[in-house]
Amino acid sequence: MIRKSPTAAAGRNLTQETTDALRAKIAAGPMKAGDRLPTEKELEAEFGVSRTVIREAVAVLKADGLVEPRRGAGIFVRDPEGTRRKNLPTFVPSGVHEALDLLELRMAVEIEAAGLAATRRSLSQDARIRECQALFERDIDAGASAVERDAAFHLAIAQGTNNSLFTSFLESLGSNAIPRRSLSDEDRARLIDRSYLERVNKEHRAIVDAISAGDADGARVAMRDHLSGSITRYRTSLSA
Count Cβ atoms below 10 Å from residue 50 Cβ, excluding itself.
14
What pLDDT does residue 210 have?
98
Phi and psi torsions of 191, nearest 5°: -100, -35
The 3-state DSSP class for residue 240 equals: coil
Nearest-angstrom CA–CA distance, 21 and 13: 13
| pTM of this prediction exceeds 0.75 | no
What pLDDT does residue 79 have?
66
Two domains, one topology: 14-80 and 85-239:
no
Q: Where are the alpha helices (DSSP H) in 1-47?
A: 14-28, 40-47
Over residues 14-63, the pLDDT tens digits come to: 888 888 888 888 877 677 788 889 999 999 999 999 998 898 888 888 87
Contact 165, 159 (CB under 8 A): no
Continuous segment of H or E residues that includes residue 135: helix 123-141
Contact 137, 201 (CB under 8 A): yes
Identify the segments of the chain with pLDDT beneath 50. Answer: 3-12, 81-86
- Mind giving me the DSSP string for 140-187? HHTT---HHHHHHHHHHHHHTTT-HHHHHHHHHHGGGGSGGGGS-HHH
Nearest-angstrom CA–CA distance, 109 and 93: 18
Architecture field, domain 85-239: Up-down Bundle (1.20)
Residues in the chain: 240
Nearest-angstrom CA–CA distance, 52 and 45: 13
- Domain-wise residue ranges, the chain: 14-80, 85-239
Count Cβ atoms below 10 Å from residue 34 Cβ, excluding itself.
10
Q: What is the CATH number of domain 14-80?
A: 1.10.10.10
What pLDDT does residue 9 have?
36
What pLDDT does residue 89 have?
57
